[in-house]
């Protein structure tokens, strides 16, 4: 448990700071949330550290993974007759026949 100093300062436990990437000099946000106060860690832009070439390489790799998944799990297109209902049936639900 952290204590509030006479200057209204609070020390963030090291474990919590490490888990959320809070470092000395970071600005954190305090947000009122009813009977509690939320502490929001600094927003980090992890993607900003990557070069354009690295970002494109990661994008291409994820696109290839998605294409492989789609090949393994082909979707069969159903006709309205095969599924047993029609679009119009959705709008008539709950109405007396």
pTM: predicted TM-score of the whole model, two decimal places: 0.41
Average pLDDT over residues 56-81: 84
- Determine the pLDDT at residue 47: 46
How is the chain split into domains, by residue range? 46-89
Name the more confident of 35 and 93.
Answer: 35
Q: Residue 17: is it exposed, middle or buried by C-beta count within 10 angstroms (0-12/13-18/19+)? A: middle
- Determine the pLDDT at residue 65: 92
Predicted confidence band at 87 (pLDDT cuts at 50, 70, 90)? confident
φ, ψ dihedrals at 21, nearest 5°: 70, 30
Q: Which of the residue ranges 14-28, 64-78, 83-97 has the most confident prediction, judged by mean pLDDT? A: 14-28
- Determine the pLDDT at residue 56: 92
């Amino acid at each position: 448990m952290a204590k509030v100093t006479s200057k209204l300062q609070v020390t963030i436990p090291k474990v919590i700071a490490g888990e959320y990437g809070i470092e000395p000099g970071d600005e954190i946000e305090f947000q009122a949330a009813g009977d509690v106060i939320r502490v929001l860690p600094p927003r980090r832009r992890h993607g900003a550290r990557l070069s354009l070439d690295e970002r494109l390489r990661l994008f291409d790799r994820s696109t290839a993974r998605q294409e492989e998944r789609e090949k393994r799990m082909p979707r069969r297109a159903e006709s309205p007759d095969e599924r047993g209902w029609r679009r119009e049936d959705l709008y008539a639900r709950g109405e007396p026949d």
